[in-house]
Amino acid sequence: MATSEVQTVNATADKLRVALSVTLVVLALAAFYALAKQGPLMQWAALIVGLAVAVVIFLTSESGKQLVAFARDAVREVKKVVWPERKEAMQITAYVFVFVFAMALFLWLTDKTLEWVFYDLILGWKK
C-alpha cells in the first residue's frame, strides 16, 4: 500500500498574498512620487523597500513558488544547451546576413518590376 502526501493549498490566503504584493507595488510607486519633496534618497528608499517586501510576500505564495521552480527548471535546461564555438557562430551570422541581403535585393527587384509593369506598361503613367 503506497501512501501519498497530499498538500492542501489555501487558495484564499494565496490570493490574498498576491493581492497584497500587488498593492504594495502600487503603494511603493505612490510613495516614490509622494516623497518628491523629501529628496531622491527618501524616494528611492521607499520604492526599493516597498518593492522588496512585495517580492518577498509574492514569493511565499503558491504562484511565487511555481515561478521560482520554473526559473530553476529553465536554468537547468539552459545548462544542457551546447552552445556553438565562436567560429561557427560567426559563420551562421554571416549566412543570415547574406540571406537577408539576398531577400532584400529580391524584394526590391520584385517591387520595381511590378511598379514598372503596372505604372508604365498597363496604366501608362510615366514618372
- Residue-wise pLDDT tens digits, 31-78: 999 999 999 999 999 999 999 999 999 999 999 999 999 999 999 999
Whether residues 98 and 67 fall in one domain? no
Question: What pLDDT does residue 51 have?
Answer: 96
Whether residues 77 and 88 fall in one domain? no
Question: What pLDDT does residue 7 have?
Answer: 54
Query: Domain range spanning residue 105?
Result: 84-127
Rounded Cα gap, residues 15 and 22, in angstroms: 11
Residue 121 lies in a domain: yes
- Rounded to 5°, angle at Cα 82 from 77 and 83: 110
Residue 2 lies in a domain: no
